[in-house]
Structure 1
Amino acid sequence: MKTFMLKKEEVQRDWYVVDATGKTLGRLASEIAKILIGKHKPTYTPHVDNGDFVIVINAEKIHVTGKKLDKKIYYKHTGYMGHLKETTLKEMLQKKPEEVIKLAVRGMLPKNKLRDRRMKRLKVYAAPTHPHSAQNPKPLEL
């Protein structure tokens, strides 16, 4: 029996919509990363980017355990000396709730050349509406 290897011309992409209301951040991010990579498909091939599109709605309503709201800190450097900026998870959820999910999913993806392409297929929205209704996304329960 020969081993099946998917070619990039044969890739079929679906659209999924995930409601993040009440979901734990890390568990949600790992499931989204699995779909972006394409590991849920029987045609998974490690060197071919065959993942699907994922739309996340209600990003502002995610749940975190423990004291992470106050103790989890995101770092960002501006490029100037002494300009390392710190932001807590609570501040990030108030200002940019979409960025919290994007950073969590980015950390769960493999650190290789396909990561940026996979991240472009992730669409995150803080509100319960999204502009991708023309693609007929399937609801996904995680």
Structure 2
Amino acid sequence: MAKINWKLVDASEQIMGRLCSQIAKYILLGEHVVIINSKDCVISGRRNMVLAKYVHLRRDIRNLSNPRRGPFHSSRPDTFLRQKIRFMLPKNQRGRDAFHRVHVYIAGIPKAKKNKYLDSEPIVFQNASAERLSRKYVTIADVCSNMGWSGESRKHFI
């Protein structure tokens, strides 16, 4: 089996939408991508507007009469970012195969997986940097904590 060449992306201080679209293009071309620091990725906009949008998606869809009613939005930063990448992929077999080529971690790479990504090549997306924003933004960790995520449950993986 051939060795997989992983591309390493640090999501800290990166704009979520721009980052996800660039990564979606990369994985559709057959690249394998690992994303670290997903909790530090940012969403542009005023804090109260962004939080209201995502909290509404999480809380007001399901109800007691039909708890299986979706769509379902994750409250963990790694699966939250991974889901946004999935939304940007085609809804066919090519998109499903590409989705398996992306791995996302909340902070750093877990100790058990370090050997898998030893020779990963770091890539930086210049157009996704949060320095471009002249306005306010919110981190994914802040959004997810308002949706019900508690960061304490994942400390043993870092």
TM-score tier, shorter chain, comes to 0.5 to 0.7
- How far apart, in 1, do the equivalents of 2:73 and 2:7 lie? 30
- How far apart, in 2, do the equivalents of 1:35 and 1:124 lie? 14
1:70 aligns with 2:49: no
CA gap of 1:88–1:21, structure 2 versus 1, over 3 A, is same
The corresponding residue for 1:46 is none
Structure 2: gaps spanning 5 or more residues: 126-158
The corresponding residue for 1:99 is 79
Please report how far the alpha carbon of residue 19 of structure 1 lies from its aligned counterpart in structure 2 after TM superposition.
0.3
1:58 aligns with 2:37: yes
Q: Tell me the TM-score normalized by structure 2.
A: 0.61
Aligned length: 114
Report the RMSD for the aligned CA atoms in angstroms: 3.1
Counterpart of 2:83, as a letter, is L
Please report how far the alpha carbon of residue 69 of structure 1 lies from its aligned counterpart in structure 2 after TM superposition.
2.7
Q: Tell me the TM-score normalized by structure 1.
A: 0.67
Between Structure 1 and Structure 2, the one with more helix by share is: 2
Question: Contact 2:73 / 2:80 at 8 angstroms: preserved in 1?
Answer: no
Question: Contact 1:70 / 1:88 at 8 angstroms: preserved in 2?
Answer: no
Higher RCO (CA < 8 A, seq sep 6+): 2
- How far apart, in 1, do the equivalents of 2:39 and 2:72 lie? 16
Please report how far the alpha carbon of residue 70 of structure 1 lies from its aligned counterpart in structure 2 after TM superposition.
2.7
